[in-house]
Chain A
């Protein structure tokens, strides 16, 4: 009541406004985070990418110099971009196809399925340095598990992490082990496919393969789309594998594991060329944005939504 007298012009909040205010109070932590941990840093990063910022004292505006240097005078920039594209181009399709195929198996009614699902999902929750060390051991050329198994079928396995031609395949191979995460997404959406569709198809004499191709696959395309978009974005951020699995994070033999983010990391935190590194991060953002945009544009051609759009 007192406040109303002191501010005669301000109307009392309507019920709706009071409600709205409470809404803002509830989301205020996120709003605060958005400003301090997102918007502010992004603006700073964008500005700093046009300077020679090195965290201590220098921050002179140098225009497009960082970007020009990147494209014309840094061979590792192109190598790292190429390595990253290689990784994404193989790991995304392979893990997607793998996850879909496994989830088809998982979607059958056979005994013990709960246990199988648990086993297949387990690797997806394991990550961090322990897993990378494990894979370094599995991939060791002479005494590792993988080359041992290959030798049973008469194949002389490559030196994997020591052979520049095989370092990236090795990392892609490792990413296949963790296919369970996507598998679960597909399984969930497969279980949402109406049983009646299968029954109708069976009546028409469609074999299991045709049922998969004409019913299951179209029905799960929205999840495939989601998975492809997110795993592409994730794939472009590959970093830890290379950092942990190479000698002191140097990027492996013949720079074969210098990924974009590893190069950026070294520029930022090894030589403190931070303006340059922030420029690189914006290039990465633009690449991801363009690819996501292309994905979105291509989606209507193959993504099937129930009820038309």
Chain B
């Protein structure tokens, strides 16, 4: 055919340009579609109730009532909830990065009898629906007298999670053993190797665990719902849920509250998006 023909190249070039334009338009449309809910949340949060009820709804608020935010903060003790949530989230991030990297080191870098079987069990536990253990956990913590404290939300975080152990183990295995061998010859213990060699080399993976844990703990709803009754202990998620019942028709307050709860996650996402995305790739590459 006309591969050696000048026209062929021209037509390929034109085709590429057309298809690229189509792709760009599709991606742009998709972006608008995906982002419009967030814009809508923001727009609603600054409208007054009258404007929210008008039909057809306005995309660009006629009036920007920034005071909605102050009113929302006043209507529910969100500052308190924020501190509670930060406390729990901080604990979760600390406990998860520490324990999971410790456990994963054992699975990745130390040979011992039964390692493969135990690792298979670890993977199998990922398949278990959370609801199967939820009621026994509740019973257990109730008998321990831990209801209405943060203990049920903190203590279990210290014993590792299958997904994170798996993720970190995959990463640790990519670190060459020669580095460890050299340290071993100098008399270093596994504890030393873990703390001084593996952890510093694993910052991206540890960051991934930290970010995912932050996200999970910040958004955790079922845990606090189950274990916390005292309003002074509430987290943002529970506070927001209760707030929904109190101001169910006042969408501007509800959206202002929702946006304030989601904002830290959005900001974190844009700062650390590289890690968010790398973290996913890490798991994708290893599971394929």
User: A residues engaging B (CB < 8 A)?
Assistant: 16, 19-27, 29-34, 36-38, 40-42, 44-45, 48, 55, 102, 105-106, 108, 110-112, 116-123, 125-131, 133-135, 137-138, 140, 142-145, 148, 151, 177, 180-181, 184-185, 188-189, 192, 208, 222-223, 226, 233, 236-237, 239-240, 244, 248, 261, 264, 268-269, 274, 277-278, 281-282, 284-285, 288-289, 292
Residue pair A223, B287 in contact (C-beta under 8 Å): yes
Known: A20-B113, A248-B245. A145 touches B261 (CB 8 A): no
Among the stretches B64-72, B86-94, B121-129, B200-208, the one at the interface with A is B121-129
Q: Tell me the smallest distance from the CB of B22 to a CB of chain A, in Å.
A: 10
Q: Which B residues, 106 to 124, have Cβ-Cβ distances below 8 Å to chain A?
A: 106-107, 110-113, 115, 118, 121-122
Residue pair A285, B273 in contact (C-beta under 8 Å): no
Closest to A221 in B: B288
Prevailing SS type, chain B contact patch:
helix
Q: What residues on A are CB-neighbors of B20 within 8 Å?
A: 108, 110
Q: Mark B249-272, 1 if CB is under 8 A from A, else 0.
A: 001001101110110011001100
Residue pair B121, A34 in contact (C-beta under 8 Å): yes
* Pairs A–B under 8 Å by Cβ, sample size 29: A19-B111, A20-B111, A20-B113, A24-B106, A26-B110, A30-B159, A45-B135, A45-B136, A108-B20, A120-B30, A122-B38, A123-B37, A128-B240, A128-B261, A129-B238, A133-B257, A134-B38, A143-B55, A181-B280, A184-B280, A184-B281, A189-B285, A189-B288, A237-B130, A240-B221, A240-B222, A244-B221, A274-B139, A278-B135
Q: Tell me the smallest distance from the CB of B30 to a CB of chain A, in Å.
A: 7
A182 to B110, CA, bound (A): 33
Residue pair A133, B254 in contact (C-beta under 8 Å): yes
Residue pair A130, B262 in contact (C-beta under 8 Å): yes
Q: How many residues of B contact A (CB 8 A)?
A: 94
A90 to B38, CA, bound (A): 25
Residue pair B135, A133 in contact (C-beta under 8 Å): no
Known: A128-B221, A143-B53. A137 touches B111 (CB 8 A): no
Partner of A129, one of B30, B156, B237, B273: B237
Residue pair A118, B40 in contact (C-beta under 8 Å): no
Q: What residues on A are CB-neighbors of B259 within 8 Å?
A: 130
Q: Which B residues, 225 to 254, have Cβ-Cβ distances below 8 Å to chain A?
A: 226, 237-238, 240-241, 244-245, 251, 254
Is the CB of B137 closer than 8 A to any CB of chain A?
A: yes
Closest to B35 in A: A119
User: B residues engaging A (CB < 8 A)?
Assistant: 19-20, 23-24, 26-27, 30-31, 34-38, 40-41, 44, 52-57, 99, 102-103, 105-107, 110-113, 115, 118, 121-122, 125, 127-140, 142, 156, 158-160, 165, 190, 194, 215, 218-222, 226, 237-238, 240-241, 244-245, 251, 254-255, 257-259, 261-262, 265-266, 269-270, 273, 276-277, 280-281, 283-285, 287-288
Residue pair A105, B273 in contact (C-beta under 8 Å): no
Closest to A16 in B: B111
Residue pair B135, A277 in contact (C-beta under 8 Å): yes
Known: A148-B57, A233-B129. A137 touches B139 (CB 8 A): no
Q: What residues on B are CB-neighbors of A22 within 8 Å?
A: 106, 110, 112, 190
Closest to A102 in B: B30
